[in-house]
Amino acid sequence: MSTAIIFIQDSYYLKNTNLVLDELKIKSKIFVSRKELAIDETSSLYIVQNLFQLLSFIFKNRNKNYKYLVASNLDDPMFKCLFHFLHYECFISFDEGQRSIVAGDFYFHKDFNKPGQRRNKLLNKLFGIPMPTGKYFDYSDKHFTFYNPEQINHNLSDHKNLVFLDKGKANKAIEKIFVGISTDWRYLGTKTLSLDSEEYRNKIISAANAINFISPDIYLMHPRENNDLVSYLNPSINILRDIGGQSHDLINKMSSTSQLVVYSDKSGVLFDLNHDIEVAFIDLFQRFDTVFYSEFVDSFNKYRKGIDPSSRECFIKKLEDFK
């Protein structure tokens, strides 16, 4: 399987990075970042925050051959080290941001004439590295831009392989929605989990992993839900919060244009959904007695069937099926 090394400074760039990876159909991914990232379980993440960690990563991977090196922040010294000291077949670059369409932005300069660059200029003269940031684009086998070069001037308009990636076309139809749960779930009858306890954190992480596995298009936060769970969700999941108690209305309107599956554990929102919407129940925090939960879902189905006999039958999904 072809493996890519992906350098990313911050989670801010993850959404665009994933668009590029999807376009390249890259499945095996090794992320290198200065910060924590919410990535899928099939990918690897190396957090590199200092020179020692960077050298350690390069030393461990120096004799491996990778299919791709993918990056956008080409002015970052960490990227430049990965570029020069790792082995890969293709280097893929993509837009960092609006500077791609700011005429004459120094980011694309191919010399060290800016004040404060004397050390880099000397190192380049002695060892050939680092190069001016603009030079690295000359070595890029393909550069992805999110700005249509036919409609706006791009600083890399003369690149040998400039590819426009239309974010609008990349947007897919809404198919899966997860309805969030009040943080009051931690009141477990016989005990209450402290927000600072290890058990609470483990349950949050386990729940987030299950949701990431399901990969809903939208996560609708409960009005009384804190940010602990959503902080672990993948950036590809759109998080909606504080929509004024109109979750059911939003879901019903979306169901008119696409076939939806709605996931939740025991939300009152579910009772107000259109009866042709599929509902998948999942005891996300494993807080319910099995018999009680089964009886609740049975009563939910009876409620729906009582209103509309053609309503879709709903079932319980086991948490272990989403790991």
Q: In one letter, which amino acid is 7?
A: F
Give the phi and the psi of residue 223 in degrees, each rounded to 5.
-55, -25
**CA atoms lying within 13 Å on the CB side of residue 78:** 26
Per-residue pLDDT of 77-107, as tens digits, reads 999 999 999 999 999 999 988 888 888 788 8
Q: Are 7 and 151 in the same domain? A: yes
Q: Are 160 and 188 in the same domain? A: no
Q: What is the DSSP letter of 87?
A: E
Select from 170, 205, 235 the last residue of a domain: 170
Strands of the sheet containing 28-33, edge to edge, are 44-47, 28-33, 3-8, 65-71, 87-94, 142-145, 162-164
Q: Are 156 and 206 in the same domain? A: no
Q: Are 143 and 228 in the same domain? A: no
The Cα–Cα gap between 55 and 64 comes to 15
The Cα–Cα gap between 322 and 141 comes to 38
Q: Are 30 and 44 in contact, with CB atoms under 8 Å apart?
A: yes
Q: What is the DSSP letter of 56?
A: H
The Cα–Cα gap between 50 and 88 comes to 23
Select from 170, 204, 239 the last residue of a domain: 170
Give the phi and the psi of residue 88 in degrees, each rounded to 5.
-155, 160
The Cα–Cα gap between 160 and 183 comes to 52
We report the CATH number of the domain holding residue 216 as 3.40.50
Q: Are 72 and 200 in the same domain? A: no
Angle, alpha carbons 138-49-41 (nearest 5°): 85
Q: Are 211 and 233 in contact, with CB atoms under 8 Å apart?
A: yes
Q: pTM for the complete prediction?
A: 0.57
Q: Are 148 and 11 in the same domain? A: yes
- Enclosing H/E stretch for 283: none
Q: What is the DSSP letter of 97?
A: S
User: Token pair for residue 55?
Assistant: 């050298």
- Enclosing H/E stretch for 247: helix 247-255
Total structural domains in the chain? 2
Q: Are 83 and 217 in the same domain? A: no
**Bridging pattern class, strands 238-240 and 261-264:** unpaired
Interhelix angle 51-61/77-85, rounded to 10 degrees, is: 20
Q: How far from chain centre, in Å, is Cα 61?
A: 25
Task: Report the chain's mean pLDDT, rounded to a whole number.
Answer: 88
Select from 141, 170, 199 the last residue of a domain: 170
The closest of 49, 55, 154 to 107, measured between CA atoms, is 154
Q: Are 231 and 154 in the same domain? A: no
Greatest distance between any 2 Cα atoms in the chain:
81
Q: Which domain holds residue 114?
A: 3-170
The Cα–Cα gap between 39 and 46 comes to 11
Q: Are 224 and 313 in the same domain? A: yes
Q: Are 185 and 315 in the same domain? A: yes
Q: Are 24 and 160 in the same domain? A: yes
Q: Are 155 and 15 in the same domain? A: yes
Low-confidence ranges of the chain (pLDDT < 70): 1, 169-172, 242, 244-245, 323
